[in-house]
Chain A
Amino acid sequence: MRKKNVTRNHYYALKRLIAIVLLLTSIYIPGGYAEMTLSQDEIMVSGVVKSGSGMALPGVSVRLKSNSSKLTITNNIGAFSIQAQSTDSLVFSYVGFVSKTVAINGIKVHNVQLESEGNQMEEVVVVGYGTQKKVNLTGAISNIDGKAIQTTTHTSLAQKLQGKIAGLQIRQNTGGPGDFDAMINIRGFGSPLYVIDGIARDGGSEFQRINPEDIESISVLKDASAAIYGLNAANGVIIVTTKKGKKGKPQFKYNAVVGVQSPTGMPEMATAAQWMEMRNEADINIGKSPYISKEELLKYQQGIPGYESINWYDETMKKYAGQQQHTISAQGGSDAINYFTSFGYQTDNGLLKSNALNYEKYTFRTNLTANLAKDLTAEIQLSGRYDKKNAPGESFFEILRGTVSSLPNHRPYANDNPEYPALVTDGQSKNPLALSDRNRTGYAEDVNKFFQSSVALTYNMPFLEGLRVKGLASFDGNNYLGKNLAKSYQLFNYDAATDKYIATDLRNPTSIHNGYIDNNRVSLQAHLLYDKVIATDHKLGITLVYEQRSGWDRNASLRREYQFYTNDQIDMAGLNNQQTSGIEHQFGSKSFIGRTTYNYKEKYLFELAARYDGSYRYHPDRRWGLFPVASVGWRISEESFIKEKAPFIYNLKLRASYGLVGQDAGNPFQYVAGFSTTGGGGYEFNDGSYSSGASAPGIVNENLTWFKSNIKNVGLDLGFFEGKLSMEIDAYQRDRTGLLAYRNVSLPNTFGGSLPQENLNSDRVRGLEFTINHRQTLGDFSYSLSGNFNFARTMNVYVERGPFLNSMDKWRNGSANRWNDIVWMYDVEGQFQSQDELVSSPIQNGDLGNSRELVGDFKYRDANGDGLIDGNDALPSAWGGNPKMHYGLTLNASWKGFDLNALFQGSGNYSVRFTHAYATMFWGQGNEPAYFYDRWHKADAYNPDSEWIPGKWPAARLEQDIGALYSESSVWRKDASYVRLKSLELGYSFSGKLMQSLKISGLRIYLNAYNLFTITDPFVRPFDPEQIEGAYNAGWVYPVSKSYNIGVNVNF
């Protein structure tokens, strides 16, 4: 028999510290065996169980503490009765509520109130420079706990958060090992500020590398509540809090997950036969003689030896790449000291068969809390990371381009001799097999060494209750070491006549490059905190903080070339053409922060805060800025008319906030009129000795200052039925003024100097978001659902520019008062069906008329009816590449030992467009996607009189023979909106005797699938809608992956 005092798995969008405490401490406490005994003292105990808000709770389990197998369940009015010894205790437990133990003490009636766990009344969230009860929040702040983050398996923290928080917009731009380049954006505002354990730290790339196992919770400040962080908080703030130890026996945890990943899709390229067929038509279609003879073509179609097709992608890439993550942690504590410590290891292997692309990471974290003396606590936090990305000496871009663009009738090796990789250069690509081989092309390696530390002392002032002071000092150091060996390599042609391999040198000579960046940052904070309850109903909180930050960095770079390659050391390379560079930077800021919170009976909530920030960046007279925020909340559900008349309304709160936030703008020191030693061109006054040049001072702008953001937010929180159903709705607007632009004064261009940037432009983001949560328990089965939605757009309000030439110019080129992400393109009316239609249609291609168009080509709409398709016919009919809409839906279910978690996620209102090989026939004379095979073509290519057979795509032609086919239109620019099953996880937790005998307090194994399927436009699907187009919009980025993982969590 075992005692089950809480159902294990609760995932709920509103996160609960208390729940974590429970989860961490009370998973399957092994049950004991107890004799059933009758006692003279046994009495019948009865009562009613209600929630904190007075609702009767049916289905609550009531057990005897001495014998957990003896239990009863409350009925539909929450009543129970049970026989028990008068000295025993009753344990009340109910899903979603904190268990409660009540000593009977001989009393026969026990009416019990259960406080709901998590969510609800007592949940505390981390806000800027402190914590606050969730119910008393007046700003738009979302919170997620470590456990909810962990339900998605991925190497990047960003992907583990994606789709889980309303307004936290995340897009996985690429899928490469060690890329960590996901877009993270709060509400469409831009890159947020990251605050880790109370200290503003590095950006998104570092954030994505944090070991998720170390995270206690993440708070997202989405509105003006971010103003407490002053400068740089205009885009919102992400606050990460890491785990601390708790008093108790040491608890060890080992978590491991291993898996395989493969691209969510890869566009299929044409086979040799398809390519030859289309290439042949490309010549015939423009009236040239056939590219190859009918007999030759037949050989390709039959694939006889020597005419086989090769799939370059399969030659170069593996089907699956492995990944694994391991973390071992320990926590515990005594009266004197609590500790949490962890060590993590992660590898992520790339898809290259050469194994030249991979990533590994080691992390550690130690958080100590020591009670030094009565009222004096010290917190010491240390964390570090070493990570390393290996890549081949040619970029992944080039390699992927090689797999896409190389012709399918070529061979990877000259004369099929693996010693001699072939020189294939059609499509301007190079042999991807050779490029991905680090023995041939060299390698690139990025190493990061990262160290963060902080010490904080908190002292509770004994002479005034509620007054605390805290001092905090932090040092962070980050070393970046980059190394790149770009080897000269050879590719070969085979000359059958002489049986010789002809080498072509590529990238001569071999060069080696080392780069070093050393970053340092010191933050110091002094806090004065005061909390006071006055006459029971008035709660007052005051926070005063002084903070200063300073940092410095130094970077250096070394590069040498080899006369002949020896080994990969700078010293071993030649002395000719050495290049070195190095520079240092410094920064500093100072801030005074104040905040007052006041509430009356936790019903009327007020908060007033301000930060007075000084930045080194600007002129001393203009470097200080005040960033205030005010917010109010009204908990209507606390009003008696709700409590009495509508007790099913568990929570109803209206809140509003308004504040001013700043964002650094422009390069530092623009107020200094100095000669720049880096801006000027140099000159060689003596042979071989280059003299650097100092450029004359530009016109300085002493008034340069930060952008100003006004952020307004109104929100409504709603909860029904003890929080079984709840929602939060927010509407917001951010107005930025002072964006940098050049003043449109008509300085004559003989002046010789240009005006500096000034704070001139403005824009506005407006958005709406909501979250809906529902959870329910039906016996052993419990589930929860959590959906979130965010829609935000940015409008340019004022854009400094010269006067428009005419109304057309204004219509076509104006940007003020328009959405910022609009694409102008032609309407497509269909495909030309006949030569007659072609001749009688508006001129598609300027001077060349319709001379290069063929039947099957796309026909653009002549929007202005002038008979000519040109720029004036383009219409603002598509969104650009940034998603405006983000949504997520999480489903959780658990039944007995099983738990299931599914996350659907998606984005909408954006488009993608590819160029180069993925969306051009025969780009650079190379291979083309197989989809083009469904094309207009003659029934018999060799018979020009045979009839046209329609297809989805136009007739084959080389790039130079194409008319206006590739103009911007809905043919090529596709709506990339999508919904995908981001994550699906099924777990089972073992319990019982076996665990006990193994001395394991918890064991869970799970299966996880990531990016399992995607619903999107069929054209976009193989490219993955989430993936960016990358350089040149060519789509040659590391593909986004799907993965299958198996994981284990062990507690002992």
Chain B
Amino acid sequence: MRTIKNIVMFIGIVCFVFGCKNVLDLKPLDKLDSKTLFSSPEGIKVYMANLYSQLPIEDFAFGRNGFNSANINTIGIAPATQTDEAANSEYSHLVDGGGNYPWWDQGYKLIRDVNLLIETIPTLNLNEKDKSEIAGEAAFIRAYTYFALVKRYGGVPLITNTQKYNGEVESLKVPRSTEKEIWDFVLDECDLAAENLPETRTTDKRRATKWGAYALKSRAALHAASIAKYWSKAPLSGTAVTQKLVGIDAAEADSYYQECIKASEAIMNSGQFSLYKPSPATVAEAIENYRALFENPNAAPEEAIFVKGFTNPGSSGHSTDFWFNPNQTSDGSPHPGRMNPTLALVDLYESYSNPGVSAPVVTTNDGNVNDYNGFDKNKSYKTFNTPYDIFKDKDARLWATAILPGTEWKGKTIIIQGGYIQPDGTAKIETDESIVVNGIKYYTYGAAEWPQYSGFAVQAGNMTRTGFSFKKFLSKNAVPPNLGASTNDWMDFRYAEILLNYAEAVIESNYTADNAQLKAADAINVIRRRAGHKQNIPLSLTNVLRERRVELAFENKRYWDLVRRRDYHVLFNNTVRKALVPLLDLRENPVKYIFVRRNLSREAPLTFPVNFYYVSIPGIGANGLVQNPQY
């Protein structure tokens, strides 16, 4: 009896074991099939988010490690520090071998991803208008992507459908198109996007609009036009040139400039955009307006055309505050102070009293601004009561772009001092010393301990070596000292750039239709008025380019401006960038500040080789492509 009972019990257990649901038939919890994903606009948006996140937007998180590298230790090397805008406090590089900022595999990944979407559009369960909007958005993304490729590599393989791999690779190989063909493709895609995209969006405001498409076209067409016009300034040779894979005929320049003008005009005439706070009452107001514009672009919808958001510290933030605060306001970041605006940039800003020309910082009574030999005790230096009086008359945007010595930032006086001149005339520069004069103790770096100053000491690379610290884009509020902790947003296209693109295209092509010359002069002057200038200046290439450099400083435009206008190799030819060193002159009583224009300390001369105008194409062995010249 008992035996039977036990047997029954065992059978019960065995049934229980085998009768369970099949433990092997599990589904992944982090994957979706395409039906589920594309069945609703929300699902499409989720896919779109991934496409947008891959867009090669040259924002805060763009650097030598590529795009979206906010959480990567970039040792604070930003695109600006590889131009004449700024130096990194520790490192001097222009470009890494083979051209800067390579972006190839990721580009073709994005192209594959967007082609996949384009092929899916006909099957989507949406009305025709929504479908065409998505087609427009896809065109915008594809234009953006090919633009990023063509400006780096010249003509690239044009792939417009999703390739299938069946174990055979030959059929996957696509030869390079000419550079012109790719530029034309980019502009055509912009047109397609502008045609299909909505003018405004009520929800998901940061998805592309018609105006975003035109802005992209304005930028791309200007780039293409410049290459056509300035190719001969740094001509290259080789197969890639003879096959026109790189380079555009000079004859094409004007038509590209006109494309730029038309696209820019579309935005200018739309009535949707204007400058943020265009007429400040005072210079102080102008400074604050300009600073605030970058701290929070969302307050300036009239100026911002296409914004990339940074939301969550750590995961989707950027690291601007981590790397670029001056040492004194590092808030605990171990590596602040990396971005040092150069003297060349500071010189460029106009003065209010003498508009229309750049106003180099004059430090000596002889007015010579070309002596970079360092302190000379026999020279007569201009003396100042504060370390910033010397900049007094300069453009508001300088004050909002750079932290000048002795100015306030986040409640602290930022001390940037390179040394002092002892009463006996001995200069103590860039060495940690102190001296008591008339019962007061003076320190070479302006304070006793390194947390109290921000310049010139070799303190783990935290101190500026140009004499200027960085301000534009920094948050006034406390930001945790972590990588990726900053969350202010990035204006990828803003109205001021469109005005400057327009002005440059007009002056470069000598375009006169539709009052273009007047409109172009006005374009630069409205921007200047916003910066507190009262006096208009005439339209000239110098004025347009200066205005572009100061208005768009640190917006990662300078690198490409130098490339497209073929200025890089001229500017950087065994070149050492310059610093302005504030010194305390203890010979004077009361003590005064003097300034020395000087070569940057710890800077090797920098040279840009002409072949770097095109980046070398990776994977030649497998893709069978013609390599760019001189690689």
Contacts and interface: CB of A to CB of B under 8 A. Distances in A.
Interface of A: 373-376, 423, 425, 428, 457, 459, 462, 469, 471, 473, 488, 493, 495, 497, 502, 504-509, 511, 524-526, 546, 548-550, 561, 577, 579, 583-590, 614-616, 620, 623, 668-669, 672, 674-697, 699, 745-753, 755, 924-925
B53 A749 contact: no
A751 B170 CA distance: 11
A241 B624 CA distance: 62
B13 A526 contact: yes
B37 A675 contact: yes
B18 A749 contact: no
Nearest to A753: B112
Contacts of B165: 699, 747, 751, 753, 755
B112 A588 contact: no
Given A616-B23, A745-B169, A694 B33 contact: no
B26 interface: yes
Contact of A686 (B3, B172, B205): B205
Contacts of A588: 23-24, 26
Contacts of A561: 480
A623 B24 contact: yes
A681 B13 contact: no
B32 A677 contact: yes
Interface string B63-93: 0000010000000000000000000000000
A246 to B, nearest CB: 25
Nearest to A524: B17
Given A583-B30, A669-B31, A546 B17 contact: yes
A508 B173 CA distance: 52
Contacts of B46: 677, 680, 691-694
Interface in B43-67: 43, 45-54
A495 B30 contact: no
B312 A616 contact: no
A693 B53 contact: yes
Contact of B26 (A586, A680, A688): A586
A584 B10 CA distance: 34
Which 8 pairs from chain A and chain B are nearest by CB? A684-B309, A752-B112, A681-B53, A674-B31, A693-B50, A588-B23, A680-B50, A746-B622
Most buried by A among B49, B481, B621: B49
Given A548-B20, A674-B28, A674-B33, A695 B332 contact: no
B24 A614 contact: yes
Given A457-B9, A684-B316, A694 B32 contact: yes
Contacts of A677: 30-32, 46
B620 to A, nearest CB: 9
Given A674-B32, A681-B54, A747-B622, A509 B45 contact: no
B28 A746 contact: no
A495 B9 CA distance: 83
Given A675-B34, A693-B49, A747-B169, 4 more contacts: A457-B10, A693-B51, A750-B156, A751-B163
Contacts of A681: 49-50, 53-54, 68
A685 B10 contact: no
Interface stretch (B266-274, B447-455, B502-510): B447-455
Nearest to B176: A750
Contacts of B110: 752
A19 B221 CA distance: 89
A374 B312 CA distance: 66
Contact of A692 (B49, B310, B332): B49
B157 interface: yes
- Of A462, A669, A752, chain B has the most CB atoms within 10 Å of the CB of A752
B605 interface: no
A684 B310 contact: yes
Nearest to B163: A751
Given A681-B50, A748-B623, A750-B159, A373 B108 contact: no
A493 B23 contact: no
Interface of B: 2-3, 6-7, 9-10, 13-14, 16-18, 20, 22-34, 37, 43, 45-54, 68, 104-105, 108-113, 115-116, 156-157, 159, 163, 165, 169, 172-174, 203-207, 298, 308-316, 331-332, 334, 441, 448-452, 460, 478, 480-481, 489, 618-619, 621-624
Contacts of A691: 45-46, 49
Contacts of A679: 30
Nearest to B44: A694
Nearest to B315: A579
A686 B204 contact: yes
6 contacts: A375-B6, A459-B10, A488-B332, A550-B23, A590-B22, A686-B205
B6 A373 contact: yes
A507 B54 contact: no
B112 A749 contact: no
Nearest to A623: B24
Q: Which of B46, B51, B156 has the most CB of A within 10 A?
A: B46
A497 B434 CA distance: 12
Contacts of A695: 50, 113
B31 A676 contact: yes
A291 to B, nearest CB: 11
Nearest to A289: B431
Nearest to A563: B478
A696 B448 contact: no
A1012 to B, nearest CB: 41
A925 B459 CA distance: 10
Nearest to B162: A752
B20 A524 contact: yes
Contacts of A462: 3
B451 A675 contact: no
B441 A751 contact: no
A677 B452 CA distance: 47
Given A616-B26, A699-B165, A497 B441 contact: yes
Contacts of A747: 165, 169, 172, 622
Contacts of B163: 751-752
A411 to B, nearest CB: 13
Contact of A509 (B43, B115, B478): B478
A593 to B, nearest CB: 14
A687 B308 CA distance: 9
Given A374-B2, A469-B10, A586 B29 contact: yes
A423 B451 CA distance: 9
B394 to A, nearest CB: 32
B5 to A, nearest CB: 8
B433 to A, nearest CB: 12
B316 A690 contact: yes
Contacts of A669: 27-28, 31
A506 B332 contact: yes
Contact of B332 (A507, A548, A748): A507
B331 to A, nearest CB: 5
Given A686-B204, A693-B53, A508 B480 contact: yes
B481 to A, nearest CB: 6
B622 A584 contact: no
Contacts of B310: 684
B405 to A, nearest CB: 20
Contacts of A507: 332, 480-481
A692 B42 CA distance: 11
Contacts of B489: 684, 687
A660 to B, nearest CB: 21
Given A577-B312, A750-B157, A752-B159, A675 B2 contact: no
Name which of A550, A589, A683 has the most chain B CB atoms within 10 A of its CB. Answer: A683
Contact of A685 (B17, B49, B105): B49
Given A505-B331, A751-B108, A457 B13 contact: yes
B597 to A, nearest CB: 26
A507 B173 CA distance: 51
A615 B25 CA distance: 9
Contacts of B14: 471, 526
Most chain B beta-carbon contacts within 10 A, residue among A374, A688, A750? A750
A676 B30 contact: yes
